[in-house]
Every structure is written in structure tokens, then in C-alpha cells.
Amino acid sequence: MRRVLGQKAMLGLLDPDWSPVPPALDGVDLDDPEALRGRVDLDRPENRELAREIAEKAVVLLTNDGTLPLAAPRRIALVGPNAAEATAVLGCYSFPLHVGVQHPEIPVGIDLPTLRDTLTAEFPDADLTVARGTGVDDGDLTRLGEAVDAARQADIVIAVLGDRAGLFGRGTSGEGCDADSLALPGAQQQLLDALLDSGTPVVTVLLAGRPYALGRAVTESAAIVQSFFPGAEGTHAIAGVLSGRTSPSGRLPVSVPRGPGSQPTTYLGARLAQLSDVSNIDPTPAFGFGHGLTYTGFAWSDLAVDAQEAGTDGEFTLSLTVRNTGERTGTEVVQLYLHDPVASVVQPVQRLVGYTRVELEPGESRRVRVTVPADVASFTGRDGRRIVEPGDLELRLAASSTDARLTATVTLTGPERRVDHTRRLHADFTQEPATRD
């Protein structure tokens, strides 16, 4: 309660002269819809700018054989059910898809450029051919031949697949839109496979609400770009990543499954949830939680640990150097995972306890320091109370849950300690000023 009241006071919501009515509506009859119309702009330039910044940081590059960024392609085949669909960037709780679909006669009210629109602007000298191929979930392949012909005549294929957001079964993703398989909806996988067989390099772009198994595309696509309903500026962000105007820096908030029969899995699984002799099923994802590529390379080095031991009420401090080894500006995301090899209650093999984004120019390096309170290793004990136990821990500095780069083994000493409301459950990152080689 104190925290909430403090935030309200900081925002001025407790000031004597504060009013819930925005300045734009001063003196307006709030009961008159016509008097209200046009008074509030919900699509202001500053809102669009923030939406684009968020979208650009959220786009995830999963694979790339060097095809991206695209170098002024002459002929582009833009194929797939979401290639020219304006609302493909919106989730089910967005107003146009939550309420607007019930009133199709009313304009959406915001600008929603399609990927066809943004790619036309991004590559003005390219010959862009659009072919739907199939719908999101209708299973119709009568226009598959048209899509394949467009692919064969192009220099690059951009396959735009994924979901249609909706509520209670009116979409392929959203509340009440469950899936019994993680295969792409409808006939989209057949379309994707046919494009891969066309002989033209295929860049697979996903506008989706959940991660899908992509079959052959995992190894055969020239590149895969994953975007989870990126919002109104999402297609601008994707076009920027494809052209190289924007360097991708997003990381997966979930794992992408290797097969369609995988249940929704998490990197937080215990040891028996990993690949083992206990089961013949391999749950290893195609792309793990936290994965994401950039258009440059990074070297991690010089791991240092201030002290190998600390009390169960203490903390550890680690530092490392991250250097941009490529020729482009880029962002590396340093992730810290905790592994507790032995605990009185079964723990996940690892769990993310902190991360930081490191933006570097070519040749620049930066020293990254992280302080890890012992409370971060706490868990709910057998008596239902949160505790910190003595023992060894691994602190893994990683590019993803499946790509640990540097590991420090440290030890908590002293008695088991019960953690109360003063606990510190966050690892704190700091970065020193960048230096250049």
C-alpha cells in the first residue's frame, strides 16, 4: 500500500487540484458523444515513436545464413496469409480485434500498415509480388501453385506466416483459442515446405501469438524472424530488420519447439524434464529461451569473481568483458542463470535471475558487473517457508538458456536462513563506460 500511494504521490494523483479529466476535455460535456469525438488523439506521433522503439527491440532473429540483411533485392516474392493483413500485428485484447470485429462498419481509427506497405517503402526499387498461398487456418491450397511460381521468379522469398488473434475460438491465438498441436495453423506448413522446395532462398517471418514448430524451415530457411504480435509499428520494425536499417536485438521470452507434438514447455524444467534415458522423447527446443541473433559478433572474456564464498546472508559480485567483434553496431543481452546442483527441494536445472542489454559500436568493449544477493538462491522449503541453504551454486553468464558462455562456481556458507520481507531477489547489473580497441 505504501508503494502504491508513493507512486500516486509522485505522479501528482493526490494533489488537491488533480482531475481525472484530461486537459483536452476541459469544458466539454462528457455526456455528449458528438462533443467528445475527435478531442483525444490516441495515435499521436510520440505514441507511434514509442511503439516503434518497443517493436524494434522485440523482433527476434532466430537463424540467419548471411542472407540478412537484404542487399537491395531486385525481385521479392512476399508470400503468406499475413503478408498483406493489417491486423496481423495485433493481439486479441487490442480494441480492433476485441471490439472492432463486432462492428466492421466502423473504421479502425489507427494506422496499421501491412508488411507489403512497409517493404514497398523499404525497398522502393524492388519488384514486389504478393501471393497469399493459403489462409491462416482455412487449409485452402488452391492458390499454392501461384505462390510457388512467384517464389521461383524471385531473388528472395519472404514467407509471412503465423496467427490471427481473436477471442473464444474466433482466432488461432488469444483467450479461448487453444491449440492441440504446435504445428502452424491450417496449411501453412505445406505452403512453407513448397516455398523451401522452390529453389529460391526463403526468409520466414512469424507474426504469431505462440511459438510454433517450423519443421524443415529450422535448418532450411535462409533466415527466420520471430515476432509476437508487435503492435501498430510492428511491420516497420520487421522491414527495418530485413533491410538492416535496424540491427535485431530481441530475445525469445519462450522456447521454440522442435516438433509439433511438444507440450508447452519451459526452460525451468527439473532434470527429469530434460533429455535423458528416462524417456524416449527429446524435449530439447529448436531455439531456447533467451535466444536471439544480431548482425554482429560479440566476445565474452575475463570473468572475475570478487569472492568465491559468501554467507547465506551475503552476496557475490562477478564481472566480465563484452566486446563487439564485428563491423556493425549491435546489442548483446548478457543473461545470468542460477543452477543449484543440490537442494532439499527439487529445483529447475537453471533459472534466469537477471540480464542486461549491452550496446556497443564496432570494436568497443565494456566491463559488465553484476551483484547477486544470496536471497536470489532462495526457494520455498519443505515447511512452506522461503529459505536460503548453504552449499555450492553455479552462476552461468549466458547468451540464452542453451548457450552458457562463462560459469562461476561459488559457495554459500553458514546456517540455513529464513528469508523475510526484506529479501533482495534481483541481481543488479552495472556497466562501465565503453572502451575501443
DSSP-derived secondary structure for 306-348:
S-SEEETT-EEEEEEEEEE-SSS-EEEEEEEEEE-SS-SS---
Q: Computed from CA positions of residues 230, 231, 237, 238, in that sequence, does the dihedral angle turn out positive or negative? A: positive
**345 to each of 342, 348, 351, 378, 409, how far by Cα in Å?**
9, 10, 15, 11, 20
The 10s digit of each residue's pLDDT in 20-65 is 877 777 777 777 777 767 777 778 899 999 999 999 999 999 999 9
Grid coordinates given for 243: 533491410
Where are the alpha helices (H) located in 106-225, listed in sequence order? 115-122, 144-152, 188-196, 217-220
| Closest to 304 in 3D by CA, of 353, 369, 375 | 369
- Computed on alpha carbons and rounded to an integer, the radius of gyration of the chain in Å comes to 25
Question: What's the number of CA atoms in the CB half-sphere (13 Å) around residue 351?
Answer: 16
Q: What amino acid occupies position 396?
A: R
Each residue's pLDDT tens digit, 70-94: 998 999 999 999 999 999 999 999 9
- Residue 256: partners with Cβ closer than 8 Å, 6 or more residues away: 62, 211, 212, 213, 214, 226, 285, 286, 287, 291
Give the residue ranges of DSSP H helices in 153-187: none
Instruction: Quote the cell numbers at residue 395.
Output: 552462476
- Is residue 340 within 8 A of residue 356, CB to CB? The reply is no
pLDDT (tens digit per residue) in 351-378: 999 999 999 999 999 999 999 999 999 9
Overall pTM > 0.75: yes
pLDDT tens series, the chain, 437 aa: 899 999 999 999 999 988 887 777 777 777 777 776 777 777 889 999 999 999 999 999 999 999 999 998 999 999 999 999 999 999 999 989 988 888 888 888 889 999 999 999 999 999 999 999 999 999 999 999 999 999 999 999 999 999 999 999 999 999 999 999 999 999 999 999 999 999 999 999 999 999 999 999 999 999 999 999 999 999 999 999 999 999 999 999 999 999 998 765 788 888 877 888 888 888 889 999 999 999 999 999 999 999 999 999 999 999 999 999 999 999 999 999 999 999 999 999 999 999 999 999 999 999 999 999 999 999 999 999 999 999 999 999 999 999 999 999 999 999 999 999 999 999 999 999 888 87
